[in-house]
Chains A and B, each alone.
Chain A
Amino acid sequence: MKRRHFIKQTAAAGSLIGLGGIAMSTTSLVPKKHITILHTNDVHSHIEPFAANDPKYANQGGVARRLTLINSVRKENPNVLLLDAGDIFQGTPYFNFYGGELEFKLMSMLGYDAATIGNHDFDNGVGGLAQQMPHASFELLSANYDFTNTIMEGLTKSYRVFVKDGIRIGVFGIGIQLEGLVNKRQFKETKHLDPIELTDDMTRILKEEEACDLIICLSHLGYDYSNKERISDLKLAAATKDIDLIIGGHTHTFLDKPTITQNKEGNIVLVNQVGWGGIHVGRVDFHLDPIKGTEHTSTFYNI
């Protein structure tokens, strides 16, 4: 059963309007684009598949299989962005023994482009996280953890723009409130800033200054809570604008397909999360067409 959504988008080709006919003739030379997003969340040090006697996830997951899958997708479409929504650490003795070194090295070998920080990534303190940073060839993105005066200062970025086949993809990270979840002795002077405020900053920068074609938020806020006061991915999606996809974590929510929801301007935002432990990889394919003049285009959500 597939739900089919046809959504009208009012986005016009702002920067090309003035060029009129010339723009029309040049765009016809530009091919269509296809960007594939692969994502994980809450892998929790599950490097090997779950044990054969695991009551729930026997023989599922495993980093070595994940690379095989990623490579097959890359063969099909080289324009892949590989992302993780945090809680990379904690959950198997690999973390207790090696402090996250393996997790970061393996993610680098798999060619992850970026990840955000989950609460468990502080389990060995800001110092324990900083110690593993040399093993990460991917970006650690967080817009709303202020690491000033901690050893993590300068080791993360708020956002990063990836260019794949000419498409500008802005990715930023949003982390969960640490108070009450993580011992103060672990997060030390790290300040948690308001997720909505910082998301507004990020989307403005990525949309206006960086002229991104796609905006992706890596969030460790959690999918949804019964306490509706509490910030979650669904709340963040509704309270902000210009995000195309929120890749979530923390609540270990298994979504068999992304949730289609609306932002504060009534445009579509996708929110996805794929459980935990690396037993699934989420895949979202964006097909983009060059904008022709002032033409209105619609998006077909085949989800």
Chain B
Amino acid sequence: MVLKKITHLLFFVCIFTIFASCKQEKYNTTRVDASLVSIDRSIKEDTSITAFITPFKTAVDKEMDSVLAYAPTSISKNDSRYNTAIGNMMADAVFELVNPVFKARTGYTFNAVILNHGGIRAPLNKGDVTTGTAYELMPFENEVVVVELSGFQMKELFQYLAKGKAHPISNLQVILGEDGSLKKGLIQGHEIIDNETYFIATSDYLQKGGDNMTFLSKPVSLLTLDYKIRNVLIDYFKKYDTIAPVRDNRFIKE
């Protein structure tokens, strides 16, 4: 009798095991709930994470807060029309600091620089100029590229600038007539010659069609320099003690 019971039990255990091992239990979703959890001050920080981050944070803050130069006044991209002190500084910094790199690579110097007004992401505030300032001005990773443009493409560039936005330029001069039309477009003081080509430094963002600067999209030749615009600014701030660029007559309306 007892033996029979055990056999019975074993039988059921076996059956159960067979089912459990071949599994393939199928499931259907019967209910779905959803919520959005905000991560805010009501949630305590996990101390193991905070402790892990701290040494990195200290190093980053130290670097970001390191003073590179001094700005006697605050300047912003909305200070003036056509050309601004901050835009002139950025374009001139590219001309001054990137040209030696380009020359070392190619044997040539580039003729001029064009950046975009929208690419100036913050004002330069009066006081200490730090590495962090360069990150604020240029948070993106864009880098300098040099395009070789035909005379025709250069004329398109001037027509584009004639629309009147204060895009940062260096070694270009744009004069608009009283009616706002393009009166004069000069590169390093010279008129554009149709069958000449020109080397223009710009950002990879604009070269790839950013801000509709389509005259940069199909250059005669293109060289990327692995020099980020932010690093150009950092190097510029390291080079000069005082950062006090000015508005000038590189882009004016009569």
Chain A interface (Cβ within 8 Å of chain B)? 9, 11, 13-16, 22, 26-27, 30, 32-33, 47-49, 59-69, 71, 90-91, 93-94, 96-98, 102, 105-106, 109-110, 123, 166-167, 180, 183, 185, 211, 213-214, 244, 255-258, 270, 272, 274, 278-291, 297-303
Most chain-A CB neighbours within 10 Å: which of B39, B52, B224? B39
Indicate if B204 sits at the interface (CB-CB under 8 A): yes
Q: Take A62-B39, A285-B32 as given contacts and tell me if A106 and B52 are in contact as well, using a CB distance cutoff of 8 Å.
A: yes
| Contact between chains at A287 and B30 (CB < 8 Å) | yes
Q: List the B residue with the shortest CB-CB distance to A22.
A: B19
| Contact between chains at A300 and B46 (CB < 8 Å) | no
Choose one: A68, A96, A183, A213; the contact of B43 (CB below 8 Å): A68
21 examples of A-B residue contacts, CB within 8 angstroms: A11-B28, A64-B45, A64-B49, A65-B44, A68-B44, A93-B63, A102-B56, A109-B49, A166-B23, A185-B224, A213-B27, A214-B29, A256-B36, A257-B34, A279-B39, A283-B37, A287-B32, A288-B29, A290-B25, A297-B30, A303-B33
| Contact between chains at B40 and A123 (CB < 8 Å) | no
Please give, as numbers and ranges, the residues of chain A lying within 8 Å of B39 by CB-CB distance.
49, 60-62, 65-66, 69, 278-281
Please give, as numbers and ranges, the residues of chain A lying within 8 Å of B224 by CB-CB distance.
185
| Contact between chains at A283 and B46 (CB < 8 Å) | no
| Contact between chains at B37 and A281 (CB < 8 Å) | yes
Main secondary structure of the interface of A (DSSP, over half): mixed
Choose one: B25, B41, B44; the contact of A59 (CB below 8 Å): B41
A65 → B minimal CB distance (Å) = 4
| Contact between chains at B37 and A280 (CB < 8 Å) | yes
| Contact between chains at A123 and B141 (CB < 8 Å) | yes
A83 → B minimal CB distance (Å) = 14
Q: List the B residue with the shortest CB-CB distance to A256.
A: B36
Please give, as numbers and ranges, the residues of chain B lying within 8 Å of A289 by CB-CB distance.
27-28, 30
| Contact between chains at B36 and A166 (CB < 8 Å) | no
Please give, as numbers and ranges, the residues of chain A lying within 8 Å of B32 by CB-CB distance.
270, 284-287, 299-303
| Contact between chains at B27 and A291 (CB < 8 Å) | yes
Indicate if B50 sits at the interface (CB-CB under 8 A): yes
Indicate if B190 sits at the interface (CB-CB under 8 A): no
| Contact between chains at B25 and A27 (CB < 8 Å) | yes
Name B201-225 residues within 8 Å CB distance of A.
Answer: 204, 208, 224
A94 to B52, CA, bound (A): 13
Q: List the A residue with the shortest CB-CB distance to B56.
A: A102
Please give, as numbers and ranges, the residues of chain B lying within 8 Å of A26 by CB-CB distance.
19
| Contact between chains at B45 and A65 (CB < 8 Å) | yes
A278 to B56, CA, bound (A): 19
Please give, as numbers and ranges, the residues of chain B lying within 8 Å of A283 by CB-CB distance.
34-37
B34 → A minimal CB distance (Å) = 5
| Contact between chains at A211 and B24 (CB < 8 Å) | yes
Please give, as numbers and ranges, the residues of chain A lying within 8 Å of B195 by CB-CB distance.
none
Main secondary structure of the interface of B (DSSP, over half): mixed
Please give, as numbers and ranges, the residues of chain B lying within 8 Å of A282 by CB-CB distance.
34, 36-37
| Contact between chains at B34 and A258 (CB < 8 Å) | yes
Q: Take A257-B34, A284-B33 as given contacts and tell me if A60 and B28 are in contact as well, using a CB distance cutoff of 8 Å.
A: no
Known: A67-B48, A90-B141, A106-B52. 10 other contacts (CB 8 A): A30-B25, A62-B45, A65-B44, A65-B45, A256-B36, A278-B39, A280-B38, A280-B39, A302-B31, A303-B32
Q: List the B residue with the shortest CB-CB distance to A66.
A: B39
A297 to B30, CA, bound (A): 7
| Contact between chains at B37 and A69 (CB < 8 Å) | yes
Q: List the B residue with the shortest CB-CB distance to A96.
A: B135
Please give, as numbers and ranges, the residues of chain A lying within 8 Å of B59 by CB-CB distance.
97
Please give, as numbers and ranges, the residues of chain A lying within 8 Å of B53 by CB-CB distance.
47-48, 63-64, 102, 106
| Contact between chains at B26 and A15 (CB < 8 Å) | yes
A14 to B24, CA, bound (A): 11
**Residue interface mask B84-107, A partner, CB < 8 A = 1:** 000000000000000000000000
Indicate if B9 sits at the interface (CB-CB under 8 A): no
Please give, as numbers and ranges, the residues of chain A lying within 8 Å of B50 by CB-CB distance.
64
Q: Take A97-B59, A256-B36 as given contacts and tell me if A290 and B135 are in contact as well, using a CB distance cutoff of 8 Å.
A: no
A49 to B139, CA, bound (A): 18
A9 to B43, CA, bound (A): 38
A298 to B32, CA, bound (A): 11
Please give, as numbers and ranges, the residues of chain B lying within 8 Å of A105 by CB-CB distance.
52
User: 3 smallest A-B Cβ distances: which pairs?
Assistant: A64-B45, A64-B49, A67-B46
| Contact between chains at A287 and B31 (CB < 8 Å) | yes
A254 → B minimal CB distance (Å) = 9
Indicate if B57 sits at the interface (CB-CB under 8 A): yes
A62 to B45, CA, bound (A): 8
Please give, as numbers and ranges, the residues of chain B lying within 8 Å of A90 by CB-CB distance.
141
Q: Take A65-B43, A290-B26 as given contacts and tell me if A109 and B48 are in contact as well, using a CB distance cutoff of 8 Å.
A: yes
Please give, as numbers and ranges, the residues of chain A lying within 8 Å of B208 by CB-CB distance.
180, 183
